[in-house]
Amino acid sequence: MKKRKLGKSNLEVSALGLGCMGMTFSFPPFPEKKDMISLIRKAVGLGITFFDTAEVYGPYNNEELVGEALEPFKGQVVIATKFGFNLDPKGGPGWTGLNSRPEHIRQVAEASLKRLRIDAIDLFYQHRVDLEVPIEDVAGTVQDLIREGKVKHFGLSEAGVNTIRRAHAVQQVTALQSEYSLWWRDPEAEILPVLEELGIGFVPFSPLGKGFLTGKIDEKTTFESTDFRSTVPRFTPENRKANQVMIDLLSQIAKLKNATPAQIALAWLLAQKPWLVPIPGTRKPDRLEENLGAVSIELTSEDLSEINSAASKIKIQGARYPESAARLTGR
Protein backbone atom coordinates (compact mmCIF):
# COMPACT_ATOMS: atom_id res chain seq x y z
CA MET A 1 0.00 0.00 0.00
CA LYS A 2 1.32 3.42 -0.94
CA LYS A 3 1.62 5.96 1.85
CA ARG A 4 0.93 9.69 1.97
CA LYS A 5 1.64 12.45 4.47
CA LEU A 6 -1.16 14.80 5.43
CA GLY A 7 0.23 18.22 4.51
CA LYS A 8 3.43 19.29 6.23
CA SER A 9 2.68 17.21 9.31
CA ASN A 10 4.53 14.01 10.10
CA LEU A 11 1.27 12.06 10.01
CA GLU A 12 1.79 9.33 7.42
CA VAL A 13 -1.16 7.14 6.43
CA SER A 14 -2.18 4.75 3.69
CA ALA A 15 -3.11 6.47 0.42
CA LEU A 16 -6.71 5.38 1.00
CA GLY A 17 -8.36 5.30 4.40
CA LEU A 18 -11.55 3.61 5.52
CA GLY A 19 -14.60 5.63 6.55
CA CYS A 20 -16.45 3.60 9.18
CA MET A 21 -19.56 5.76 9.64
CA GLY A 22 -21.90 3.65 7.51
CA MET A 23 -21.23 0.57 9.60
CA THR A 24 -23.54 1.90 12.34
CA PHE A 25 -24.97 5.22 11.11
CA SER A 26 -26.80 6.97 8.23
CA PHE A 27 -27.16 4.01 5.84
CA PRO A 28 -29.37 1.25 7.30
CA PRO A 29 -29.83 -1.66 7.47
CA PHE A 30 -26.64 -2.16 9.46
CA PRO A 31 -24.52 -5.31 9.32
CA GLU A 32 -23.62 -7.53 12.26
CA LYS A 33 -20.91 -6.10 14.49
CA LYS A 34 -18.75 -9.21 14.12
CA ASP A 35 -18.81 -8.83 10.34
CA MET A 36 -17.65 -5.22 10.56
CA ILE A 37 -14.87 -6.17 12.96
CA SER A 38 -13.74 -8.72 10.38
CA LEU A 39 -13.94 -6.12 7.61
CA ILE A 40 -11.88 -3.56 9.53
CA ARG A 41 -9.25 -6.17 10.32
CA LYS A 42 -9.24 -7.27 6.69
CA ALA A 43 -8.57 -3.65 5.75
CA VAL A 44 -5.52 -3.63 8.02
CA GLY A 45 -4.32 -6.82 6.37
CA LEU A 46 -4.66 -5.16 2.97
CA GLY A 47 -2.51 -2.22 4.05
CA ILE A 48 -5.03 0.40 5.21
CA THR A 49 -3.69 2.30 8.23
CA PHE A 50 -6.17 5.21 8.42
CA PHE A 51 -9.62 4.78 9.98
CA ASP A 52 -12.31 7.43 10.45
CA THR A 53 -15.02 7.47 13.11
CA ALA A 54 -16.85 9.93 15.40
CA GLU A 55 -18.75 9.86 18.69
CA VAL A 56 -21.96 10.99 16.95
CA TYR A 57 -21.96 7.94 14.65
CA GLY A 58 -24.44 5.78 16.49
CA PRO A 59 -23.94 7.62 18.79
CA TYR A 60 -20.93 6.04 20.45
CA ASN A 61 -21.19 2.51 19.02
CA ASN A 62 -19.08 3.34 15.96
CA GLU A 63 -16.14 4.31 18.15
CA GLU A 64 -16.70 1.18 20.22
CA LEU A 65 -16.68 -0.94 17.05
CA VAL A 66 -13.50 0.68 15.71
CA GLY A 67 -11.82 0.44 19.11
CA GLU A 68 -12.53 -3.28 19.46
CA ALA A 69 -11.56 -4.07 15.87
CA LEU A 70 -8.26 -2.18 15.97
CA GLU A 71 -7.16 -3.00 19.52
CA PRO A 72 -4.76 -5.73 18.27
CA PHE A 73 -3.04 -3.17 16.01
CA LYS A 74 -2.14 -0.45 18.52
CA GLY A 75 0.71 1.66 17.22
CA GLN A 76 0.26 0.35 13.68
CA VAL A 77 -2.80 2.35 12.61
CA VAL A 78 -4.10 5.93 12.74
CA ILE A 79 -7.57 6.56 14.15
CA ALA A 80 -9.39 9.84 13.52
CA THR A 81 -12.45 10.81 15.54
CA LYS A 82 -14.47 13.97 16.09
CA PHE A 83 -16.08 16.26 18.66
CA GLY A 84 -18.54 19.12 18.42
CA PHE A 85 -22.11 17.96 18.99
CA ASN A 86 -24.51 17.72 21.91
CA LEU A 87 -25.95 14.25 21.69
CA ASP A 88 -29.46 13.13 22.58
CA PRO A 89 -29.45 12.63 26.39
CA LYS A 90 -32.00 9.85 25.95
CA GLY A 91 -29.54 7.90 23.85
CA GLY A 92 -31.34 8.29 20.55
CA PRO A 93 -29.56 8.64 17.21
CA GLY A 94 -28.50 12.05 16.03
CA TRP A 95 -27.61 15.24 17.83
CA THR A 96 -29.40 18.14 19.50
CA GLY A 97 -27.03 20.99 18.68
CA LEU A 98 -23.43 22.08 18.29
CA ASN A 99 -21.07 22.22 21.26
CA SER A 100 -17.37 23.03 20.99
CA ARG A 101 -17.00 24.59 24.43
CA PRO A 102 -13.57 23.75 25.89
CA GLU A 103 -14.97 21.68 28.77
CA HIS A 104 -17.08 19.67 26.33
CA ILE A 105 -14.10 19.00 24.04
CA ARG A 106 -12.23 17.61 27.04
CA GLN A 107 -15.16 15.40 28.04
CA VAL A 108 -15.43 13.99 24.52
CA ALA A 109 -11.69 13.34 24.34
CA GLU A 110 -11.71 11.34 27.58
CA ALA A 111 -14.76 9.32 26.54
CA SER A 112 -13.43 8.67 23.04
CA LEU A 113 -10.11 7.44 24.39
CA LYS A 114 -11.94 4.81 26.42
CA ARG A 115 -14.25 3.70 23.62
CA LEU A 116 -11.36 3.53 21.13
CA ARG A 117 -9.14 1.69 23.66
CA ILE A 118 -6.17 3.94 22.93
CA ASP A 119 -3.83 6.19 24.90
CA ALA A 120 -3.94 9.14 22.48
CA ILE A 121 -6.28 10.21 19.68
CA ASP A 122 -4.22 10.35 16.48
CA LEU A 123 -6.38 12.99 14.75
CA PHE A 124 -9.12 14.92 16.58
CA TYR A 125 -11.45 16.87 14.31
CA GLN A 126 -13.94 19.56 15.16
CA HIS A 127 -16.91 17.93 13.41
CA ARG A 128 -18.68 21.18 12.51
CA VAL A 129 -17.75 24.79 13.23
CA ASP A 130 -19.59 26.16 16.29
CA LEU A 131 -20.16 29.88 15.81
CA GLU A 132 -20.90 30.26 19.55
CA VAL A 133 -17.30 29.37 20.46
CA PRO A 134 -14.32 31.28 19.00
CA ILE A 135 -12.24 28.91 16.89
CA GLU A 136 -9.17 30.19 18.77
CA ASP A 137 -10.62 28.68 21.97
CA VAL A 138 -11.27 25.40 20.18
CA ALA A 139 -7.73 25.26 18.75
CA GLY A 140 -6.27 26.25 22.11
CA THR A 141 -8.14 23.47 23.91
CA VAL A 142 -6.94 20.85 21.44
CA GLN A 143 -3.43 22.29 21.77
CA ASP A 144 -3.63 21.70 25.52
CA LEU A 145 -4.76 18.13 24.90
CA ILE A 146 -1.79 17.65 22.57
CA ARG A 147 0.58 18.95 25.23
CA GLU A 148 -0.99 16.53 27.71
CA GLY A 149 -0.40 13.63 25.32
CA LYS A 150 -4.10 12.82 24.86
CA VAL A 151 -4.27 14.00 21.25
CA LYS A 152 -1.60 13.96 18.53
CA HIS A 153 -3.08 16.05 15.70
CA PHE A 154 -5.83 18.66 15.25
CA GLY A 155 -8.29 18.64 12.37
CA LEU A 156 -11.32 20.54 11.09
CA SER A 157 -14.32 19.25 9.17
CA GLU A 158 -16.35 21.24 6.60
CA ALA A 159 -14.77 24.51 7.81
CA GLY A 160 -14.49 27.67 5.73
CA VAL A 161 -11.29 29.45 4.71
CA ASN A 162 -11.40 32.10 7.43
CA THR A 163 -11.91 29.52 10.17
CA ILE A 164 -9.07 27.39 8.83
CA ARG A 165 -6.66 30.35 8.89
CA ARG A 166 -7.67 31.44 12.40
CA ALA A 167 -7.42 27.93 13.83
CA HIS A 168 -4.07 27.26 12.16
CA ALA A 169 -2.63 30.47 13.64
CA VAL A 170 -3.19 29.00 17.14
CA GLN A 171 -2.52 25.29 16.59
CA GLN A 172 -1.27 23.63 13.43
CA VAL A 173 -4.18 22.05 11.58
CA THR A 174 -3.00 18.71 10.27
CA ALA A 175 -6.00 17.97 8.07
CA LEU A 176 -9.30 19.29 6.82
CA GLN A 177 -12.03 16.77 6.17
CA SER A 178 -14.72 17.81 3.70
CA GLU A 179 -16.69 16.33 0.85
CA TYR A 180 -14.86 16.24 -2.47
CA SER A 181 -15.41 14.14 -5.56
CA LEU A 182 -16.17 14.43 -9.25
CA TRP A 183 -19.71 15.42 -8.34
CA TRP A 184 -18.80 17.94 -5.61
CA ARG A 185 -15.82 20.05 -6.71
CA ASP A 186 -16.44 23.26 -4.76
CA PRO A 187 -13.28 22.81 -2.61
CA GLU A 188 -11.17 23.51 -5.69
CA ALA A 189 -12.11 27.20 -5.73
CA GLU A 190 -10.89 28.35 -2.30
CA ILE A 191 -10.22 25.45 0.04
CA LEU A 192 -7.50 23.56 -1.84
CA PRO A 193 -5.33 26.67 -2.47
CA VAL A 194 -5.45 27.64 1.22
CA LEU A 195 -4.61 24.10 2.35
CA GLU A 196 -1.65 24.04 -0.02
CA GLU A 197 -0.47 27.45 1.19
CA LEU A 198 -0.64 26.44 4.86
CA GLY A 199 0.60 22.87 4.45
CA ILE A 200 -2.63 21.23 5.62
CA GLY A 201 -3.66 17.79 4.39
CA PHE A 202 -7.07 17.08 2.87
CA VAL A 203 -9.26 14.10 3.70
CA PRO A 204 -12.20 13.88 1.26
CA PHE A 205 -15.22 12.05 2.63
CA SER A 206 -17.95 10.70 0.34
CA PRO A 207 -15.36 10.36 -2.46
CA LEU A 208 -17.82 8.05 -4.20
CA GLY A 209 -20.76 10.41 -3.81
CA LYS A 210 -22.45 8.41 -1.01
CA GLY A 211 -22.40 5.42 -3.32
CA PHE A 212 -23.67 7.08 -6.47
CA LEU A 213 -20.33 7.13 -8.30
CA THR A 214 -20.05 3.35 -8.03
CA GLY A 215 -22.70 3.10 -10.74
CA LYS A 216 -24.83 0.82 -8.55
CA ILE A 217 -27.51 3.42 -7.83
CA ASP A 218 -30.09 4.69 -10.32
CA GLU A 219 -33.52 6.35 -10.28
CA LYS A 220 -35.17 3.03 -9.39
CA THR A 221 -33.08 2.48 -6.25
CA THR A 222 -35.08 2.72 -3.01
CA PHE A 223 -33.77 3.93 0.35
CA GLU A 224 -35.14 3.29 3.82
CA SER A 225 -36.77 6.33 5.46
CA THR A 226 -33.94 6.41 8.01
CA ASP A 227 -31.28 6.35 5.27
CA PHE A 228 -29.69 9.81 5.16
CA ARG A 229 -29.84 9.80 1.37
CA SER A 230 -33.65 9.84 1.51
CA THR A 231 -33.37 13.46 2.74
CA VAL A 232 -30.74 14.62 0.24
CA PRO A 233 -32.00 16.63 -2.77
CA ARG A 234 -29.29 15.12 -4.98
CA PHE A 235 -30.82 11.69 -4.37
CA THR A 236 -34.38 12.35 -5.53
CA PRO A 237 -35.31 9.92 -8.33
CA GLU A 238 -35.37 12.68 -10.95
CA ASN A 239 -31.94 14.00 -9.91
CA ARG A 240 -30.46 10.51 -9.82
CA LYS A 241 -31.70 10.02 -13.36
CA ALA A 242 -30.28 13.36 -14.51
CA ASN A 243 -26.94 12.72 -12.80
CA GLN A 244 -26.49 9.35 -14.50
CA VAL A 245 -24.49 11.20 -17.16
CA MET A 246 -21.58 11.32 -14.70
CA ILE A 247 -21.69 7.53 -14.35
CA ASP A 248 -21.65 7.25 -18.13
CA LEU A 249 -18.45 9.29 -18.23
CA LEU A 250 -16.78 7.21 -15.50
CA SER A 251 -17.86 4.00 -17.23
CA GLN A 252 -16.27 5.10 -20.51
CA ILE A 253 -12.93 5.78 -18.82
CA ALA A 254 -13.21 2.60 -16.76
CA LYS A 255 -13.52 0.44 -19.88
CA LEU A 256 -10.32 1.92 -21.29
CA LYS A 257 -8.46 1.27 -18.03
CA ASN A 258 -9.96 -2.18 -17.35
CA ALA A 259 -11.34 -0.73 -14.12
CA THR A 260 -14.68 0.10 -12.48
CA PRO A 261 -16.37 3.52 -12.26
CA ALA A 262 -15.62 3.64 -8.52
CA GLN A 263 -11.94 2.99 -9.14
CA ILE A 264 -11.75 5.78 -11.71
CA ALA A 265 -13.52 8.19 -9.35
CA LEU A 266 -11.00 7.40 -6.60
CA ALA A 267 -8.00 7.43 -8.93
CA TRP A 268 -9.07 10.86 -10.18
CA LEU A 269 -9.15 12.15 -6.59
CA LEU A 270 -5.77 10.64 -5.75
CA ALA A 271 -4.30 12.38 -8.80
CA GLN A 272 -5.40 15.84 -7.62
CA LYS A 273 -2.91 16.39 -4.77
CA PRO A 274 -0.22 14.21 -3.14
CA TRP A 275 -1.38 15.33 0.34
CA LEU A 276 -4.96 14.23 -0.21
CA VAL A 277 -6.25 10.97 1.33
CA PRO A 278 -9.81 9.86 0.49
CA ILE A 279 -11.75 7.76 3.00
CA PRO A 280 -14.36 5.76 1.07
CA GLY A 281 -16.68 3.81 3.32
CA THR A 282 -17.83 0.29 2.66
CA ARG A 283 -19.33 -2.67 4.48
CA LYS A 284 -18.49 -5.33 1.89
CA PRO A 285 -15.13 -7.12 1.53
CA ASP A 286 -15.31 -7.15 -2.28
CA ARG A 287 -15.96 -3.40 -2.37
CA LEU A 288 -13.02 -2.86 -0.03
CA GLU A 289 -10.73 -4.68 -2.42
CA GLU A 290 -12.25 -2.85 -5.40
CA ASN A 291 -11.61 0.53 -3.79
CA LEU A 292 -8.02 -0.35 -2.97
CA GLY A 293 -7.47 -1.23 -6.62
CA ALA A 294 -7.76 2.49 -7.41
CA VAL A 295 -4.38 3.15 -5.79
CA SER A 296 -2.58 1.29 -8.57
CA ILE A 297 -4.47 2.96 -11.43
CA GLU A 298 -2.35 5.57 -13.19
CA LEU A 299 -4.29 8.33 -14.88
CA THR A 300 -2.09 10.20 -17.35
CA SER A 301 -2.25 13.95 -17.80
CA GLU A 302 -4.19 13.26 -20.99
CA ASP A 303 -6.65 11.06 -19.08
CA LEU A 304 -7.14 13.75 -16.46
CA SER A 305 -7.58 16.44 -19.08
CA GLU A 306 -10.19 14.33 -20.86
CA ILE A 307 -12.08 13.65 -17.63
CA ASN A 308 -12.00 17.31 -16.58
CA SER A 309 -13.11 18.50 -19.99
CA ALA A 310 -16.03 16.10 -20.09
CA ALA A 311 -16.97 16.68 -16.44
CA SER A 312 -17.00 20.45 -16.92
CA LYS A 313 -19.90 20.03 -19.33
CA ILE A 314 -21.96 18.12 -16.76
CA LYS A 315 -24.14 20.08 -14.36
CA ILE A 316 -24.89 17.92 -11.33
CA GLN A 317 -28.50 18.29 -10.24
CA GLY A 318 -29.58 18.70 -6.61
CA ALA A 319 -27.97 20.03 -3.44
CA ARG A 320 -25.59 17.71 -1.58
CA TYR A 321 -27.28 18.34 1.78
CA PRO A 322 -30.77 19.23 3.00
CA GLU A 323 -30.88 22.88 4.02
CA SER A 324 -30.57 22.21 7.77
CA ALA A 325 -27.27 20.38 7.30
CA ALA A 326 -25.98 22.72 4.60
CA ARG A 327 -26.11 25.64 7.05
CA LEU A 328 -23.38 23.96 9.13
CA THR A 329 -20.82 23.79 6.32
CA GLY A 330 -18.28 26.29 5.06
CA ARG A 331 -18.43 28.42 8.21
Nearest to 135 by CA among 97, 112, 111, 161: 161
Backbone phi, psi, residue 270, to 5°: -60, -30
Active site residues: 57
Do 159 and 167 form a contact (C-beta atoms < 8 A)? yes
CA angle 64, 66, 69 (to 5 degrees): 105
Are β-strands 95-98 and 173-179 bridged in parallel, bridged antiparallel, or unpaired? unpaired
Integer-rounded Cα Rg, in Å, for the chain is 19
Q: What is the 3-state secondary structure (H, E, C) of 138-177?
A: HHHHHHHHHHCCCEEEEEEECCCHHHHHHHHHHCCEEEEE
Q: Alpha-carbon distance 153 to 143, whole Å?
A: 9
